Amino acid sequence: MAAKLEDVKARLNALKGFAEIFVGPRDLVGVDIGSFSVKVVLLKQEGQVWHLKSWGLLPIAARPDATPDERKTAIVNPLRAFLIEKGIKIKEVATSLSGNAVIVRYVKFPRLTKNELQATLTTEAEPFIPFDINEVQLGFHILGEVVEDGQKKMETVLVAAKKELVTARLDILEAVGFHPTIVDVDSFALENVHDHVRDPKEGSAAALYLNIGHMVTNLSIVESGVTRVVRDVFISGQTMTKAIMKAFQCEAPRAEELKRQFGLIIDPAEKEKALSAGNREALGVSQSLGQVARDLVGEVHRSVDFYLSQGPDRTIGRIFLAGGSARVKNLDKHLANELKVPVAVLDPFAFLKGAEAVPQDLRPAFGVAVGLSLRRNRDWE
């Protein structure tokens, strides 16, 4: 029996090898290139269980005034070294984009087949894109059919990214030796993680994600597994750092240190203790971060109001904080108090086997990278 089982396994492995020759390997390396660091994740699915095979957080050691070529080198060289160190042989990669050069629109098109929309996409999309249509790379995903004014239409997510941004990202990955297979949007990558971390007890209530990066915060609302609102808000980790720099008249490294050390003071007893001890640094940092947090709360309110206006019985059940600044002390509690919604710091590794070695304080920064690695090669077909 053992010999027969081994023979079956060998045949299955041979068939898998033939499949990969014709359609490519299923596994992808998720690479999230931020403004401050690069996050890399490789996952492997075995049955219904996902395993973490490799991960890395690679700081981008480039000056703020570095040229594009210098910044490219500062990303490519550490990525190459990481792949060699970890023995990663997979070349297919998924990456994602965000920021003011990426536009996401939810539009209703006349009923067309996927191929028909693909053939006429430029014409159909042009009224919804605030850029020169010839300067963007277009993509779409059909959500389903809807009836509007008695006519059947198809609800579609339309994405446009400036070609120069896409080209620059592909150039970096190809210089590493990767074969870019998927270019996604940061918020949609987080949707993949949501499918695995959501609590079924929350029912149909939507979840709001704040992916607080160094330069930009990706705000998205996920309803029944589908992202319904996507916005990029330019209130970010850097905004917090600059507020502290201004208050303390210090340089960025010192402001970052103060931000990590103190965070927000929200407990009255803790505030009284800081006052009695004359801890000006803690009080000053909290005040600076509080001003930024109020601006962020305002943006969240605007997005939630827009979402709630789109239909009856819509609610936000939970807010997840992701990104490098998600773990600013007491930020989650402050937002929960202001927004009256439970707030949790996202752990995108929570459902993965073999993730014990990833430090807790780093985990929220990997939301996008984990979401990208959950994609499968050719899963769009």
Angle 73-77-79 from CA coordinates, rounded to 5°: 120
pLDDT at 191 over 90: yes
* CA–CA distances in Å: residue 23 to residues 28, 155, 182, 373: 13, 30, 14, 18
Q: Which residue has the higher pLDDT, 300 or 112?
A: 300
Neighbours of 164 (CB within 10 A): 12
* Range 103-160 has CATH code 3.30.70.20: no
Q: What are phi and psi of 160, to 5 degrees?
A: -130, 130
Identify how many contiguous H helices and E strands the chain contains and give both numbers.
11, 13
- 377 pLDDT higher than 90: no
Collapsed DSSP state (helix, strand, coil) of residue 347: coil
- CATH top class, domain 1-91+347-381: alpha beta
Task: Give every CB contact of residue 291 below 8 A, 6+ residues apart in sequence.
Answer: 243
pLDDT band at 3 (very low <50, low <70, confident <90, very high): very low
What does the pLDDT look like over 247-287, one tens digit per residue?
999 999 999 999 999 999 998 898 888 898 889 999 999 99
Q: Lowest mean pLDDT of 27-36, 253-262, 306-315, name the range.
A: 306-315
Q: Above 90 in pLDDT, residue 8?
A: no
Residue 184, SS3 per DSSP: strand
pLDDT digit string, tens, across residues 124-180: 899 999 999 999 999 999 998 888 888 888 999 999 999 999 999 999 999 999 999
Residue ranges of domains in the chain? 1-91+347-381, 103-160, 202-345
What is the model's pLDDT at position 200?
Answer: 78
25 pLDDT band, cuts 50/70/90, is low
How far is the C-alpha of 202 from the C-alpha of 346, rounded, in Å?
16
Say if strands 179-185 and 151-162 run parallel, antiparallel, or are unpaired.
unpaired
Mean pLDDT of the chain: 90
Q: How far apart are the first and last CA of the chain?
A: 39
Cα radius of gyration rounded to whole Å, the chain:
23
> Given this model, what pLDDT does residue 65 score?
87
Task: Return the CATH architecture of domain 202-345.
Answer: 2-Layer Sandwich (3.30)
Domains 1-91+347-381 and 202-345 equal at CATH topology level: yes
Share of the chain above pLDDT 90, in %: 76
pTM metric for this prediction: 0.89
% of the chain surpassing 70 pLDDT: 92
Backbone angles phi, psi at 40, to 5 degrees: -125, 135
